[in-house]
A and B are shown apart, each in its own frame.
Chain A
């Protein structure tokens, strides 16, 4: 079966702009989680969606938001970009949530200049 796909793979934005990242989970998976990975902070949980509902959110400012559509595809949005938002953004899908094996996508590399 097809794996998790993320678009775009690379993105360069300017401070103050906003960005939308997309994640298509594995068919049949209803849970999608988002993570930010940086050299300094490691892998940090952003939020998790299940059946279009956000079930959990990490410690990130309100500039970070997300949503999930009825077909389980998910998007995350970052508004008013800051230099510190430069990171690899990973999404992961699973059958039903954190207790299940997570399948990660290749990530979107965001650079904020």
Chain B
């Protein structure tokens, strides 16, 4: 079964509002990757976090890795219509990637 849960499953925001998706694992993660999939598209790599408590920023996106390396979050400040899509956190174990359940973001212009 799915070992990486994401919440919320779906979020609809007004353009300009902030958005956060949370990713939780039942086991300690060696690293966590984040991907974005636009409607009708394929997943695109956003970032990888490796260190406990790590925080990385990409323009309006802030990624965080929990101190215990069991959770992660992605925060988008002032959403834009271009942020629409599904955001996945992904854990790797060995040579296998396990995708989270995903959070679908819709943005009202």
Contact = CB atoms under 8 A, between A and B. Distances in A.
B95 A97 contact: yes
Contacts of A33: 97
A99 B96 contact: no
Interface residues of B, number: 22
Majority DSSP secondary structure for residues of B touching A: strand
Interface residues of A, number: 24
Given A42-B102, A99-B31, A101-B48, A55 B95 contact: yes
B24 interface: no
Interface in A79-113: 90, 92, 97-99, 101-107
Interface of A: 31, 33, 35, 42-45, 48, 50, 55-56, 58, 90, 92, 97-99, 101-107
